[in-house]
Amino acid sequence: MLKPLHDNVVLEKSAPEEKTKSGIILSSKDQETPKTAKVIAVGPGKDDEPLSVKVGDQVVFKSFATTDIELDDKEYLIIKEEDILAIVEGE
């Protein structure tokens, strides 16, 4: 497992939607790259300040702010907390 350092967060990509809310099935080229992901691990923070996100949160992040890594046949993203834009609530 990945253990993030400082204010880094490890995310697991959310699966892209395969159909729209109205039931239209999307081809793989029509599916957008996910900009939401689940928090898998968080670093200890910087200067003894804890992070705002916690393991299990679903978050929205900046598209090009991640470092992609594959480990044990799973894709993960590593991102700085400041590049996480929001926590998704109430789904």
Where in the chain are the domains?
8-14+30-88
Measured CA to CA in angstroms, residue 42 lies from 10, 21, 31, 73, 77 at distances of 6, 32, 28, 21, 12
Residue 28 sits at the vertex; the CA angle it makes with 25 and 33, to the nearest 5 degrees, is 110
Q: Would the pTM count as exceeding 0.85?
A: no
What confidence score (pLDDT) does residue 31 get?
A: 47
Please tell me the predicted confidence (pLDDT) of residue 47: 83
For domain 8-14+30-88, the question of CATH label 3.30.750.24 is answered with no
pLDDT for 34 equals: 56
Q: How far apart are the first and last CA of the chain?
A: 27
pLDDT per residue of the chain (91 residues) written in tens, 0 to 9: 899 999 999 999 876 556 666 766 665 554 455 588 999 999 999 887 889 999 999 999 998 899 999 998 888 999 999 999 999 997 6
